[in-house]
Amino acid sequence: MANRNLPSEKTPKQGSAQDDTRVTTPNPTPAQLALEGKENHSSNSKLVIKFWGVRGSYPVPGPKTVKYGGNTSCVEVRNQHHRIIFDAGTGIIGLGDQILTEHRQDQAPTAQPLVFSILLSHTHHDHIQALPFFQPAYLSQASMYVFGPQLLGYDLRESISETMNARYCPVRLEEMNSHKVIVNIADTDRLLFQNSNKVPRVITARDEMADLHQEDLLVSIMHSYAHPKDGVFVFKVQNNGHAVVYATDTEGYRGGDARLIKFAQDADVLIHDAQYTTEEYTDVLHSKQGFGHSTIDMACEVAEKANVKQLVLFHHDPRHDDEVMQKVEAHARRLFKNVIAAYEGLEVHLGP
Ligand SMILES: [Zn+2]
Ligand SMILES: [Zn+2]
């Protein structure tokens, strides 16, 4: 089967990708300081990972979550040429504002096309709920690519569109003015973001990869079935010999999720669901087993067995305020040498 070349925008403008948007929260923990200190010099990094929403299930604003943040899932991975957004929880609202600010500053004749891709792990509320509030989606000169699974057999566009019908939302999907390309993908597909082409390509398992360059971004997919009702996509971004794995909303197995351990083997960064403490997970009266989320210990076990360089705990339980999160992070540091609990504004830079 031939490569599925996606339609391109006729009058492209370029999306600007800048390396200087570091945001820090007040009073970072020692682990955060170490990470920032290590990465801070890398303004010429090839790959930037930025956390805009780190919370699972529902947003929790307020004075008890200012340190780690209260927004639901959204992680940006970008290089000089492409911007990939994992999930559209409420964290995507701040990212949208950032994209608009950059776009307004970049109106020169040589301006880059405004193109971005949203990769959805699945379509539970906390991963799509802020799409109607993502301002760049309303720009007629923007191109928005959305990729995700066809869970329970439902077309991805239909799943998103349903949440934006007039009964639930003042704006219909069709009323967002950007050029929208919404694509069902399978775990046998890969996504190729070439430096020479603003338009991403879907590559099926049988396609030749002859024109792949190290500098291009390649995204591969693992379908985890450890999340109700039809699982979740885990994504791996590879670029210049580096790998970042985004594994949210997935429950661990005894001895570690073997498929995930293989998929994430030797990755530079593993972003892993770590919603519960072991005590919460195994509580006899209010057990969280089967809910489709991991414990901190499960995330650390996968990181250890996959030999990843950096583990980022993610999809924090909304009931875990800053005080609990600090304890969570301290506990995790006893289990895995290089771990940090994701917080809004955290950036990790990879590259030369
Ligand atoms: Zn979730
Ligand atoms: Zn979910």
Look up the CATH number of the domain holding residue 163.
Answer: 3.60.15.10
Distance 222 CA to ligand 2 centre (A): 15
Distance 227 CA to ligand 2 centre (A): 7
Distance 206 CA to ligand 2 centre (A): 30
Distance 250 CA to ligand 1 centre (A): 9
Distance 47 CA to ligand 1 centre (A): 25
Amino acid at 307: N
Distance 156 CA to ligand 2 centre (A): 15
Amino acid at 73: S
Q: Domain for residue 103, yes or no? A: yes
For residue 272 the two structure tokens come to 């892993």
Q: Domain for residue 20, yes or no? A: no
Q: Domain for residue 342, yes or no? A: yes
pLDDT reported for residue 23: 30
| Coil, strand or helix at 11 | coil
Spatial distance between the Cα atoms of 317 and 327, rounded to a whole number of angstroms:
13
Pairing relation of β-strands 4-5 and 347-350?
Answer: unpaired
Q: Domain for residue 3, yes or no? A: no
Ligand that comes closest to the CA of residue 315: 1
Distance 277 CA to ligand 2 centre (A): 18
Q: Is the pTM of this model over 0.85?
A: yes
Distance 124 CA to ligand 2 centre (A): 5
Q: Domain for residue 16, yes or no? A: no
How many independent structural domains does the chain possess? Answer: 1
Q: Domain for residue 2, yes or no? A: no
At residue 21, does pLDDT exceed 60? no
Pairing relation of β-strands 347-350 and 47-53?
Answer: antiparallel
Q: Domain for residue 6, yes or no? A: no
Could you list the residue range(s) of the whole structural domain that residue 269 is in?
A: 29-206+215-346
Spatial distance between the Cα atoms of 24 and 116, rounded to a whole number of angstroms:
24
pLDDT reported for residue 5: 54
Distance 149 CA to ligand 2 centre (A): 13
Distance 120 CA to ligand 1 centre (A): 11
- Give the H/E segment covering residue 144: strand 142-148
At residue 78, does pLDDT exceed 60? yes
Main-chain dihedrals φ then ψ at residue 128, nearest 5 degrees? -135, -5
Ligand that comes closest to the CA of residue 53: 1
Helices 296-306 + 322-335 axis angle, to 10 = 30
Mean pLDDT of the chain: 88
At residue 1, does pLDDT exceed 70? no
Q: Domain for residue 24, yes or no? A: no
Spatial distance between the Cα atoms of 71 and 50, rounded to a whole number of angstroms:
14
At residue 26, does pLDDT exceed 50? no
